[in-house]
């Protein structure tokens, strides 16, 4: 009898005698957790903002007749394109000088009526032209500042002295196919966005047809062409 009573005390009696009240205890109350700020999440990566190309300076035109030392004009750093015209029958020679009279380069040396363009890299400052001519002439100064250029493959074509572009290189090799139909120099230089020469594609005389492969750094580039006839340059990435 003693053993049974001890076992009953350990496990409890499920059959409570009638009339015996059971004491119910409510479950312990728990305090609601305080509201917390949501965990900070790192923002998703975004593309870096694109930088707009700097605004191109306004073009300038200087004109005259016959032999002339022009007034000074001002340019900013970078490439300058000189577009020239001459209506005459004799020499048309244009020298580029600093405002102090120091000769920098010869831009044009042709005979008779001339219409063309050439490009040079310049530092910011004041410059002037020494012009030798027997007729009326004009020189337009442009300073393009493109953010991008025409993609490859593409073909540039023209006649005589020309500046072609802008084109867009992706940093891989480029195959250049060149053709010239003329009797004088056929010189083709590759210029970077600032007008600096980064490669020479041709330095021939007379009619020419050929090809070459060259590496062009990623970015904008131009072609500076010296010719007396029609020409084409086809460019294809490797």
Q: Which 3-state string (H, E, C) describes 171-225?
A: CCEEEEEEEEECCCEEEEEEEECCCCEEEEEEEEECCEEEEEEEECCCEEEEEEE
- CA 75 to chain CA centroid, nearest Å: 20
Query: Which residue from 89, 46, 32 is spatially nearest to 66, judged by alpha carbons?
Result: 89
Domains and CATH numbers, the chain: 58-145 (2.60.120.380), 147-238 (2.60.120.380)
Reading the chain (238 residues) residue by residue, the pLDDT tens digits are 333 333 333 334 444 433 433 444 444 444 444 444 444 444 444 343 444 667 889 999 999 999 999 999 999 999 999 999 999 999 999 999 999 999 999 999 999 999 999 999 999 999 999 999 999 999 999 999 999 999 999 999 999 999 999 999 999 999 999 999 999 999 999 999 999 999 999 999 999 999 999 999 999 999 999 999 999 999 999 9
pTM score, two decimals? 0.77
Q: Where are the alpha helices (DSSP H) in the chain?
A: 2-11
């Amino acid at each position: 009898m003693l053993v049974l009573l001890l076992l009953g005390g350990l496990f409890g009696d499920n059959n409570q005698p009638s009339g015996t009240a059971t004491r119910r205890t409510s479950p312990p109350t728990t305090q609601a957790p305080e509201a917390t700020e949501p965990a900070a999440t790192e923002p998703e990566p975004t593309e870096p903002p694109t930088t707009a190309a700097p605004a191109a300076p306004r073009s300038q035109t200087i004109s005259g007749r016959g032999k002339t030392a022009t007034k000074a004009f001002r340019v900013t750093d970078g490439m300058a394109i000189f577009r020239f015209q001459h209506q005459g029958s004799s020499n048309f020679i244009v020298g580029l000088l600093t405002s102090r009279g120091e000769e920098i380069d010869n831009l044009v040396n042709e005979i008779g009526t001339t219409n063309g363009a050439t490009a040079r890299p310049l530092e910011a400052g004041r410059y002037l032209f020494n012009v030798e001519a027997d007729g009326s002439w004009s020189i337009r100064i442009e300073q393009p500042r493109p953010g991008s250029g025409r993609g490859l493959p593409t073909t540039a074509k023209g006649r005589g002295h020309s500046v072609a572009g802008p084109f867009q290189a992706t940093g891989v090799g480029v195959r250049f196919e060149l053709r010239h139909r003329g009797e004088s120099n056929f010189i083709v230089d590759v210029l970077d966005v600032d007008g600096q020469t980064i490669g020479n594609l041709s330095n021939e005389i007379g009619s020419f047809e050929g090809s070459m492969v060259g590496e062009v750094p990623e970015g904008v580039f131009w072609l500076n062409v010296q010719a007396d006839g029609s020409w084409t340059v086809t460019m294809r990435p490797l």
